[in-house]
Structure formats: structure tokens, C-alpha cells
Amino acid sequence: MTDILDLLSNVSFWIAVLRIATPLILGTLGVLLCERAGVLNLGIEGIMVAGAFAGWLAVYAGAPLWMGVCVAALTGAAFGLLHAWLTVGLALSQHVSGLGITMLATALSYYGYRVSFPKVSTPPTITPFAPMDWLPIPVLDAQTSLTLLALVLVPVISYLLYRTPVGLAVRMVGENPQAAEGQGVSVAWVRTGAIVAGSALMGVAGSFLTLSAFNAFFFNMVNGRGWICVALVVFAAWRPGKALLGALLFAFFDALQLRLQQAGDAALPYQVYLMLPYVLSILALVLVARKAAYPQALMKPYRKGER
């Protein structure tokens, strides 16, 4: 028990929490944007892989780090556009399209990596983002500017959704597309815009892994983080503030299990610790999300002129 208290008073633990949370915050905000507009985006897992790879490749080829982030965002946006064309333009099943995009984006990234680096035994590396030493805030000063970006995006997206006309349009399109169309708002455009913007965020979430958390691209490096984001949105009841909270909570448990593994008193097999954050997030979902008021038109394709 004292071990755990020691751990919690340790700054490096909290640094780890925030670092683990960063891609989750970005990804969750991305999913949230899509789902608020009524479109499930299961492409996130693959889009994160593609963002991680494309951003890293750009930097490896000599682009500045922020250019790498932009490339990741554009890559995400491109897959988002594909998802929008399938789910909005053609009104296909959002599940199938999303899973398809995950498989496509993942496979393309791995393929691209293999083609670019046919014969390497150790992955090539880049110089990642440096910590923001100049910040006088503990914990945050050990993070990179991508983490700051993620934290700033939470109130920005909150404001966008709740205080601007375009945010109202996004919410309305996710609640009742017929109503939005009847008020002269183009459902197709608003949904497409939300998917593209959300997918761009997912791409950035992926690039955090290669440009900040690590300095190289590995297979399986996204490792289910995308799916966690999909669950976190439900946990957050589709609210950006709660999404931040959920991401931090999950990251907390993840950091905790890493430390517990390392503590290594081997009372339990390490797989039990690995399982911990997932079990706890399922528990949290069960407790919190049952009463969530989900967007009423989520996963319902909208075809103009049909009733």
C-alpha cells in the first residue's frame, strides 16, 4: 500500500500519465467530432497508424517536426474523406466502412514502411519533439508541445461545438438530420466536414507516437489505442471536457499497471496488470455510460428526400 502512495507522490509517474493520455485525448476528440455529427468512425485505429507512419516518414525525409504533424493531419483527413464518401455520399454501413478503413490504412502504412526500408534490422530513428523545459509548470514542462496542443484543443472544441453556429449545425446533424436539412443546412457537407476534421485529429494522435513519445515507427505501435478512444467517447457522454477526464483516467491506470509490473514482487502474473486498465474502463463504461444521451442519429445514414 505504501508502495502505491510513494508512486502517486512521484512526479515521473504523473509525467507518464499525461504522456500516455495525449494520443488518447487527440483521438477521442476526433471520434467525438465524427460521432456528434452522427457518424461512427471505426477507421481511427488505422488512421492513427497511417498518421504515425506518414508524419514520421516526412520528418525522416527532412521535413521539420511540425510539418510532419501537418502531413499526419492531412493523411488522416484523406482517409476521413474516403470514410465520408462511403458513409455520407453512398450512405453505406458505418461499421463496415470504418473497419475497412482501419484495415486499409494499417496495411498501406506497413506496406509503405517495408517498401521504404526493405533491409533494416533496427528501425531508423528521427529526433523527436523536445520537452518544453521553458514552461514553469511541473509535469507539463516534461511534455512536448503536442501535449499542450491536445490540452488546448479540449476547450477549443468545446467552444466550437456549443458556442458557434457551425457547432450547432454539427450537433443538429447528429441528432436529427431531417431537421437540419429543413432549416437549410446541408447534412452531407456538415457530416463530411466533421469526419474530415475528426480524422485529421486522429492522424495527429498517431503522429504523437512517432514524433514525440518514441523516435521511430514500429509495427503494432498503435496497439488498440484507437479502440480505446471509441470507448472513451461513450464514457465521456460525447462531451469534450469529460473526454479529457476519461483519457486521463485511462492513462492513470495504464501508467499504474506499468509501475506495478516493474515493482515486480510477482504476486500476480504481469498479464493481470496489463489487463487492469481495460477491465477498469469497461467497469467505468458500465457505471457511467448507461445513462448517456447519445446522438440520436448516430450510425443512421441520411439519404436526402427519404422519410
Partner 1 sequence: MTASPYVLSLRHISKRFGALIANDDISLDLKAGEVLALLGENGAGKSTLMSILFGHYVADAGEIEVFGQPLPRGNPKAALAAGIGMVHQHFTLADNLSVLDNVLLGSEPLWLPFSRRSAARQKLLDVANRFGLPVTPDARVGTLTVGERQRVEILKALYRGARILILDEPTAVLTPNESEALFDTLGQMVAQGLSIIFISHKLAEVLRVSTRVAVLRSGKLVAQAAAADVTQAQLALWMVGHGVNAPQKKPSTHVSSEVCVIADVSTDTKNRERLQQVSLTLRGGEIVAIAGVSGNGQTALAELLCGTQRATSGSVQLLGKPLPPSPEQLVAIGVARIPEDRHAIGVIGDLPVWENALSERLRSATFSKWLWVRRRTARAHANRIVERFDVRGGGALVPTRSLSGGNMQKLILGRALLAPDGMPAARLIIAHQPSWGLDISAVAFVQQQLIAARDAGAAVLVISDDLDEVMVLGDRIAVMHSGRLTDARPSSDWTRESIGLAMAGAKP
* Contacts with partner 1, residue ranges (CB under 8 A): 163-166, 168-169, 171-172, 175-176, 178-185, 293, 295-296, 304-305, 307
156/151 Cα distance (integer angstroms): 9
100 vs 295 by CB, closer to partner 1: 295
**Nine-digit cell at 300?**
443512421
CB of 300 to partner 1, least distance (A): 13
Residue with Cβ nearer partner 1 (118 or 165): 165
Q: How far apart are CA 4 and CA 12, in angstroms?
A: 14
Task: For residues 62 and 46, give the distance between their C-alpha atoms in angstroms, rounded to a whole number.
Answer: 24
Q: How far is the CB of 155 from partner 1 (least distance, A)?
A: 14
Cell numbers placing 253? 491506470
Q: Which is nearer to partner 1, 161 or 260 (CB)?
A: 161
For residues 258, 263, 269, 273, the Cα torsion angle rounded to the nearest 10 degrees is -30
Give me the helices (H) in 264-299, please.
270-288
Task: Copy the grid coordinates of residue 26.
Answer: 487527440
Name which of 69 and 297 has its Cβ closer to partner 1: 297
User: Cα–Cα distance between 54 and 77 in angstroms, integer?
Assistant: 12
Minimum distance of partner 1 from residue 169's CB (angstroms): 6
Q: Of all helices (H) and strands (E), which one includes residue 150?
A: helix 145-163
Query: Does residue 203 contact residue 55 with C-beta atoms inside 8 Å?
Result: yes
Q: Taking Cα atoms as reference points, which of 107, 71, 86 lies closest to residue 203?
A: 71
**Shortest spacing between CB 181 and partner 1, in angstroms:** 6
DSSP state of 133: T
Closest CA to 243 of 48, 43, 29: 29
Nearest to partner 1 of 227, 294 (CB atom): 294
* CB of 172 vs partner 1, minimal distance in Å: 5
Q: How far is the CB of 218 from partner 1 (least distance, A)?
A: 41
- Closer residue to partner 1 (CB): 237 or 258: 237
Residue with Cβ nearer partner 1 (27 or 295): 295
CB of 184: closest distance to partner 1 in angstroms?
A: 4
